[in-house]
Amino acid sequence: GGKIRVRDIGKSYGSTRALEDVSLSVSEGEFCCIVGPSGCGKTTLLRAIAGLDDPDSGSILVDGNPVTDPGLDRGMVFQEYALFPWRTVRGNVRFGLDRPACECADCEARVRELVDLVGLDGFEDAYPKELSGGMKQRVGIARALAVDPEILLMDEPFGSVDARTRDRLHAELLDIWAQTEQTVVFVTHDIDEAVTLADRVVVMDADPGTVRSTLSIDVERP
């Protein structure tokens, strides 16, 4: 699973036209990057796929089913982390599980597995304010992966970390992707970042949310 088909979606915020007839298909297991200048509608498109916002028109299908609300088949990573400041790393990751309050052995084991996966073992009891930007985003990724979603949606997840950390996070993310075989839709305004990560890069125009062109880029994977 994890196939996405977006057809002719439009979205306005008052008089601002954020998306205009945007169509996009992403295959199962594909790592797709969406690039475009600030304000072209990338976040709006991603939030619509996530089911966090409703488009005004058009349709979004995931594995043939209409997206109506945030579902367990999709995990979302936000630009500014969106961690709960009063929860520890463990608490934030556990929140991504279907049963956020559950402290049963299975849930505990799953949380530990996720914390290990993103390289944060030893930091389970830390609070977000004690962590660097890169570490916070590792928590965000672990939380998004908690229910083992078919699709990982990422909105400029590394926009707030320094260049060296970003390089490390790219490698880590590709490692995780190789293990999980998820469909990834990754939004960035940085074409270099897109080319580093993607199987395919989709370019959105500055003109409200028009997907201008798509180009296939072969990426050599280690």
Write out the residues near ligand ADP by the rule CB under 6 A: 13, 16, 18, 36, 38-44, 79, 155-156
- Quick one: 44 or 183, whose CB is closer to ligand ADP? 44
CA terminus-to-terminus distance, the chain: 25
- Token readout for 8 is 């002719």
Would you say 79 or 180 has its CB closer to ligand ADP? 79
- Our CB check for ligand ADP shows the closer of 13 and 86 to be 13
Q: CA–CA distance from 177 to each of 26, 31, 37, 47, 168 (Å)? A: 15, 8, 26, 21, 14
* Closest approach of ligand ADP to the CB of residue 42, in Å: 3
Nearer to ligand ADP, 73 or 156 (CB): 156
Least distance from ligand ADP to the Cβ atom of residue 175, Å: 25
Q: What SS3 state is found at 143?
A: helix
CB 116 to ligand ADP: min, Å: 29
Least distance to ligand ADP from the beta carbon of 11, Å? 8
Rounded Cα distance between 10 and 163, Å, is: 34
